Structure 1
Amino acid sequence: MGLFGNKADPTKSAALKAAIGALVDPHSGESLATAQAVERAEVRGDQAEVDIVLDYPAAGWEDELVGLVQQVARTVEGVRDTKVTVAFVSPLGSQLQGKAMPGVRNIIAVASGKGGVGKSTTSVNLALALAAEGARVGLLDADIYGPSQPKMLGVRQEPEIQDDRSMKPVMAHGLQTMSIGYLVEDDTAMIWRGPMVTSALMQLLNDTRWDQLDYLIIDMPPGTGDIQITLAQKVPVAGSVIVTTPQDIALLDARKAISMFEKVNVPVLGIVENMALHVCSNCGHIEHIFGAGGGARLAADNQVELLGSLPLDLNIRTDVDEGLPTVVRAPDSPIARAYRETARRLAAALGRSQRTGVQDHGPLITIEE
């Protein structure tokens, strides 16, 4: 067609960009235009060329997104073919707070108000899900008294000490990981007072040479004590996630965790409802063993997003007990797909938080009686 024929048509290109920008992203709840995700949209002759840049990893949604863009592009007069590229660039949530951590773009704390809600299992599967979606991910086990990630990841080795006395993260299923559990025997009780615990945590965090992570997931211990306050004071946490079950008692403590993060000025990105329902393996009957709708009510009451509802399933428990979390052991299973959908919503919520300026400064500690 010659050089002239390959020039972009400004009128058709504008129509194309507007049409694609109107598409609503199901993970962020925003239009692609609002999310500033349409990097380029041009019509050259009978071909549309579109570049989409998301601020969260979405490998599992990419094919569907490309199909939607192609469908919209065909509505523009004269377009017969569409070339679509989809890229992911993680935000700089933890790099923008004045005390950035080398090698880490975003730190996300996964917390709960009480133990027993499956927070650690959720943490490891969400970390693996983010990696499966295309991100570089690390996982820090912040539970000094009861580290569980080495067992869940099926890894038992000491980290390599480098010349500067820093530690290389232990690789597990593609994740960069660190835990006090790599440094002590399984049956060793950590009989430490609060200052020793927080000092150990900061050493694990700062002395590990994280390598160009998009996300560092911190599996927090339950409660709202020393470790949580130390992280808020000294670590540039970009956002937090609260894990709960639908049970009223768990919801009560989850509200305390939300309140704590609000007081230290760390955005709560959303709620993950764990053990939301059980499907009988024999008859398929669905039962809400711990109650129904609790996570949705908690999210609505606190004006945050319900990122996902995960089932109570025997396989989830046996998988982590055997060191192969479900996202790794059964990547095509409905449970793994649920974790990946939840992970996309989590990362999208972080991207939206950064774009809308929810947190422009570092955490500010306030104490209220």
Structure 2
Amino acid sequence: MQILIAPDSFKGSISAVDFCQIAARLISTHWPEVRVIQRPLSDGGEGFVDAFVYAGLAERVSVETLDPLGRPIQADFAWQPSTKTAIIEMAQASGLPLLTRDERDPLNTSSFGTGLVIQAAINLGAQHIILGLGGSATNDGGVGALQALGVELLDNQGNPIPPIGAGLVELERIAHIPPHLHQISWQLACDVTNPLLGEQGATTVFGPQKGVNANNFSQLENGLAQFARVIEKDLACRIADLPGAGAAGGMAGGFIGVLNAQTQSGFDILAKASALEALFEPTLEPSLELINDQRIDLVITGEGRLDAQTRMGKLPMRVAQMAQQHGVPTLGICGQLAINPAELPEFIALFSLVQGIVDEQTAMQHTPQWLENTLYSALRLFRHPK
């Protein structure tokens, strides 16, 4: 028997790599005859860099940068020397988990630290940059990152605007874009289709978890609207209602408008790079770590929460659909199950780690052990359904 472990991270509690290692160790202990293939995945958010490095697709590079409030931290990116490609994860420098709940303040958080990571990759010689968007603590339209890269964003007095969410309302013109930035191929790894503005936009949909409230909503929404107007005026690019522009607090829109970045599903980027689908058809790729006459019998995937958004193409759904196309069943594991399992027929079964009512801190602390217990129960049922 052969099992593919291909989860996303459980945001803030356990990484996709840890999930794979826990599952592999458990299966080795209780079912040593079962072969395990580990493929930690990411849609562009937390764990995007780790997924490339863990799969042997790139090497890890550590750099000094700043967190969303400007405090010094270390962040990693993945580097492919042969292709001059850098894989950068916005969450590493500008992610929500870097802040306490009391520190979440989208008027004052910045993507500047992500810009510093990008600049480090450019200094290394990057010609192609894949930027994973997701899990951000910012609502600055990416102006912090753009300013860190040398883009001049000025107010009506000709002064640089503050590189934070509150600074956007002061923007009057884009004075200069360093020419070398247009020689780089920019690819945004993002599964979000939300526009920049409006009821489905960045501030409305993703803002509340970052600290957007009734007191700061108008200033932040107006700031993104002003950014969109200036980009249209100075660069002849309309981003206000562009699908996907609202990702990462509008950073997708900023990079599309200023750097002509292209968006693509983060899952698709990683799945292609890691030849994920070839694992279901082993004869297609004999060089993979797969015995040619074996096929995958079971897939295990999951993420922190399975809900109505899962149906809209979240990573576990994409994995389950891929497996289903090859006639392979999928088990779904999550921290919280907030949907009727009947609404996710692509999975043969769904399991939640949390049983009953517990507080968030307790759930975070116990995630590794609960995951091991849940996987054991799920695999026993699969191996011995009667």
Where on the TM-score scale, by shorter chain, does this alignment land: which range? under 0.3
More helix by share: 2
Q: TM-score, normalised by structure 1?
A: 0.27
Higher relative contact order (CA 8 A, sep 6+): 1
